[in-house]
Amino acid sequence: MSRVITLPAGPRLLIEELPHTYSVSIGYFTGVGACYEPATLSGASHFIEHMCFKGTRELPNAMLISDAIEGVGGILNAATSYESTVYWAKVADMHFDRAVHVLTEMLCCPLFDPREVEKERRVIIEEIRSLQGSPGEWVHALLQEAMWGSQPLGRDIAGSPESVSALSRDDLLTFWHKHYCPENLVISVAGNVRTDQVVATLDAAFARHDANPTNGTLPEPADPAAIACLPHTHDIRPALPGPHVALLQRQTEQGNFCLGVPALSYRDPDRRALQVLDTIVGGGMASRLFQVLREELGLAYHVGSYQSELAETGMWVIYGGVEPEMLRDSITTILDILRDILNDGVTEEELTRVKEQVKGGILLSLEDTWSVASRNGAHQLRYNEVIPIERVVTEVEAVTGEDILRVARRLLYRDALHLAVIGPYGSDDQQELHTMLTTAFAA
């Protein structure tokens, strides 16, 4: 079990001792992401994530930062999401102090060198544009835009070429000063460490920065009035009403699609039932989607489903790539599969098998020190506690066929349906797909 300690500097610290391992993983979880950005700052969280790798007070360039971890065989990485940004490292246990030093430098002392800001701006814009060169990935972003519109959930986490071009260094500094504060930080450690060692190392790391916060090299604080104007929380509005079909005509060799509905938050009591339902529908080779679309009908090679959970809402998405002429039959078959669940539910045999699959996947996901540290940090940020794995397993075991039917009926109705398609199609195809959604389920 992990322990939670509040450091004198303010961050919450979770420690899980795993003495049977040879590694230690450390994650710094900040409670800010794309959902906290007004439209004028779209992409700021992701931009700051990049800048934290470009130089710090004691490691003034990207090479020194990467070599400090990779040079001893470790891994250093980061990711920005809609509600959080995480920086993490995994190293051999003997290099724990080094990893703490690097991560603390990155979050507390990024330089935001103006020349690096401009260089990284070009890199990020190319990153955004590269998405449009991959229809199988782009179609997911198209679905989010169709479902959520102009609010943050409808925008790419990285922003747009236009919004990233407009972000100034002062904009980034203002956003960083607002959100990269100790009370908004959770640090999660898992691996071959002792609790007293972890606490002492992190205390010393943050004390060093508190004692010498600028050293003449850190960026000056942004305008306090501008910092105060930025929100500490986000305001997510409901999804746009469906049924809706967003279609991008591209001369591709495949038709790529995402069929999605607004779904559940990570606080919703039905979230375990949706987790099981998602696995029944699209979770692996035994799922209904795989067995029917690929094995029985040969309509698709690539098909599946996933759910994403946020504080106030979520998404449930079915996706696939098919030969262009197979799109209509594939969508029709998917809607039939969903309608069968709405009408007949699931069998007890199917439910028992899938619950074992879900439980096994949860337990196997915790074999790695970073998996443990990542789960602990994310839970602490979300729930202000780490939900014991035993409780999760018990909740999955308790899911019934009635629970599956209830959550299916909560999510699957006509006005919830959104479909995004990229491929060699036109307006007639779009209208035909819209008619299919309109007649799929009751209002």
Instruction: Locate the domains of the chain by residue range.
Output: 3-229, 244-438
Whole-number Cα distances in Å, 166 to 94, 317, 325: 43, 32, 41
* N-terminal to C-terminal alpha carbon distance within the chain: 46
The per-residue pLDDT for 222 is: 64
The per-residue pLDDT for 226 is: 76
Whole-number Cα distances in Å, 401 to 124, 351, 390: 46, 7, 22
10 Å CB burial of residue 283 (0-12, 13-18, 19+) is: buried
In 3D space, the residue among 19, 48, 24 whose CA is nearest the CA of residue 34 turns out to be 48
Q: 3-state DSSP call for residue 183? A: helix
> What one-letter code names the amino acid at 282?
G
The per-residue pLDDT for 185 is: 95
Choose which CATH entry (3.30.930.10, 1.10.10.10, 3.40.50.300, 3.30.830.10) describes domain 3-229: 3.30.830.10
Is residue 250 within 8 Å of 134, Cβ to Cβ? no
User: What is the Cα–Cα distance from 40 to 206, expressed in whole angstroms?
Assistant: 33
- Residue listed under structure tokens 């065989």: 73
Q: 3-state DSSP call for residue 261? A: strand
In 3D space, the residue among 328, 270, 276 whose CA is nearest the CA of residue 299 turns out to be 328
Burial per residue of 170-207, b for 16 or more beta-carbon CB atoms within 10 angstroms, e otherwise: ebbbbbbbbbbebebbbbbbbbbbeeebbbebbeebbe
Sort strands 185-191 and 23-30 into parallel, antiparallel or unpaired: antiparallel
**Could you tell me the two tokens for 214?**
């600028």
Whole-number Cα distances in Å, 246 to 141, 163, 439: 11, 23, 17
In 3D space, the residue among 435, 406, 405, 397 whose CA is nearest the CA of residue 419 turns out to be 435
- Residue listed under structure tokens 């990020």: 124
The per-residue pLDDT for 223 is: 75
In 3D space, the residue among 409, 417, 411, 412 whose CA is nearest the CA of residue 242 turns out to be 417
| CATH superfamily of the domain spanning 244-438 | Metalloenzyme, LuxS/M16 peptidase-like (3.30.830.10)
**Could you tell me the two tokens for 58?**
């004691």
Kindly give the residue spans of alpha helices, DSSP state H, lying in 29-95.
44-51, 62-70
Catalytic choice (16, 49, 116, 309): 49
Neighbour count for residue 349 (Cβ, 10 Å): 8
The per-residue pLDDT for 75 is: 98
Q: What is the pLDDT of residues 89-144, one digit of tens each?
A: 999 999 999 999 999 999 999 999 999 999 999 999 999 999 888 999 999 999 99
In 3D space, the residue among 308, 205, 191 whose CA is nearest the CA of residue 260 turns out to be 308
Q: What is the pLDDT of residues 251-286, one digit of tens each?
A: 999 999 999 999 999 999 999 999 999 999 999 889
Is residue 376 within 8 Å of 190, Cβ to Cβ? yes
Sorted by sequence, the CB contacts under 8 Å of residue 318 that are 6+ apart come out as 258, 259, 260, 281, 282, 289, 303, 304, 305, 334
Is residue 217 within 8 Å of 59, Cβ to Cβ? no
* Residue 49 is among the residues annotated as catalytic for this protein: yes
Sort strands 185-191 and 12-17 into parallel, antiparallel or unpaired: parallel
The per-residue pLDDT for 218 is: 56
The per-residue pLDDT for 228 is: 73
The reply to whether 3-229 and 244-438 are identical in fold is: yes
Stretches where the chain sits below pLDDT 50 are 212-216
User: What is the Cα–Cα distance from 57 to 105, expressed in whole angstroms?
Assistant: 7
